[in-house]
Amino acid sequence: MSRLSKVCSLDDLLVERESWRAAGEIVVLANGAFDMLHVGHARYLEAARRLGDRLVVAVNSDASVRAAKGPGRPIVPEGERLELLEHLWMVDRLVLFSSATVAPILGRLRPDVHAKGTDYSEDTVPERDVVAAYGGRTAICGDPKDHSTTDVIGVILERFGRR
């Protein structure tokens, strides 16, 4: 693990996952960029935690956020995003990933539940087949998608103009 007690490598997480499995604990994986942490993120992660005993959060690397959202993103660098998430009570472990989707993490970690936000339905989650293949469950949780970093950025630009 790194200097942040909740941030770990996937290899370290796999070892810990086995001890959780042996103890009969339900492991939930949530994922996202978590750029400019806001209330929608907190509500999503709290709802994900209620689905099990342990919450692992996979966080997109800076490169994967840039690839998905464009050259101006992320606003907050990956190290700082991880550090902010570390301070949330509902998060047990954090792992950084660089792939286009979280499928490689899901395939290796095999969490009992893959929690996605309400901007998805169970049919539109890109990794649903990966989760189903190992016998896991995909769950949609959190509040309605009324908050997003893109919306926050839009409000800031509208109120303060481009400089």
The secondary structure of residue 55, as a DSSP letter, is: E
Of 25, 20, 83, the C-alpha closest to 57 is 83
pLDDT in tens, 111-146: 999 999 999 999 999 999 999 999 999 999 998 777
How confident is the model over 152-163, as a mean pLDDT? 71
Q: Which residues of 2-20 are buried (b: 16+ CB within 10 A; e: fewer)?
A: eeeebbbeeeebeebbeeb
The secondary structure of residue 19, as a DSSP letter, is: H
* pLDDT score for 2: 43
CB 51 within 8 Å of CB 136: no
pLDDT in tens, 62-117: 999 999 999 999 999 999 999 999 999 999 999 999 999 999 999 999 999 999 99
pLDDT in tens, 7-48: 999 999 999 999 999 999 999 999 999 998 999 999 999 999
Where along the chain do its domains lie?
10-160
44 Cα distance to chain centroid: 9
pTM of the entire predicted model: 0.90
The CATH T-level fold of domain 10-160 is Rossmann fold (3.40.50)
Of 71, 70, 74, 88, the C-alpha closest to 33 is 74
CB 38 within 8 Å of CB 147: yes
